[in-house]
Copies of this chain bind each other. A is one copy, B any other.
């Protein structure tokens, strides 16, 4: 009987090794050799799954985004307020693993400035996140699309800035989450008071 190979698992392991390398050495430090070493597989194995270094790097970003998307989809039954808060809070690192994830995300952001393809994928992910948040803001506050979009963008930018402060240990993760929660609840109360 032929050995059953779980290709999805192998791809996942390679991408996790890629993230490790990025977190340690930045995106510029990524080579197939480094990733093979971190994944404890041969370079040939990596090439079997990814055509090139560029393809692997891009797959790493797409999986990062897909993972965040899956965590968000799992909140499908929750209230708009909770789903909104989920998106705002999910990137705030509360563990070493969380720190690695955000560090990798920032490495991609830094690269986006000079890499057109990565910029496209990132911008698309940011736009989708904003659209989701805007829908929840609209449901919560009963405002029109333009206002909801502006509020969502503001909330997400605030979350990005707070995350950055947690990352350099200038802010405690719990404090960042408290600020975001107050922002969502405080504002939704205020607007409700005005609009209803």
* CB 8 Å contact bits of A155-172 with B (1 = contact, 0 = none): 011111110110111110
* CB 8 Å contact bits of A163-195 with B (1 = contact, 0 = none): 011011111000000010001000000000000
Q: Are A161 and B156 in contact (CB under 8 A)?
A: yes
Give bound CA distance, A167 to B184, whole Å: 26
Give bound CA distance, A171 to B123, whole Å: 9
Judge if A61 is at the interface, Cβ distance under 8 Å: no
Q: A157-B161, A164-B160 are in contact. Are A170 and B113 (CB under 8 A)?
A: no
A23 to chain B minimum Cβ distance, whole angstroms, is: 8
Contacting A103 at CB < 8 Å: which of B24, B110, B119, B165? B110
Query: Contacts of A119 on B, CB cut-off 8 Å?
Result: 168-169
Contacting A171 at CB < 8 Å: which of B153, B158, B171? B153
Judge if A59 is at the interface, Cβ distance under 8 Å: no
Q: A106-B106, A161-B160, A161-B161 are in contact. Are A113 and B26 (CB under 8 A)?
A: no
Main secondary structure of the interface of A (DSSP, over half): helix
Give bound CA distance, A113 to B110, whole Å: 14
Q: How many residues of A contact B (CB 8 A)?
A: 41
A104-132 CB contacts (< 8 Å) to partner B: 106-107, 109-114, 119, 122-123, 126-127
Q: Are A154 and B179 in contact (CB under 8 A)?
A: yes
Q: Are B165 and A26 in contact (CB under 8 A)?
A: no
Give bound CA distance, A169 to B165, whole Å: 22
Q: Are B109 and A113 in contact (CB under 8 A)?
A: no
A154 to chain B minimum Cβ distance, whole angstroms, is: 7
Q: A28-B25, A157-B161 are in contact. Are A170 and B123 (CB under 8 A)?
A: yes
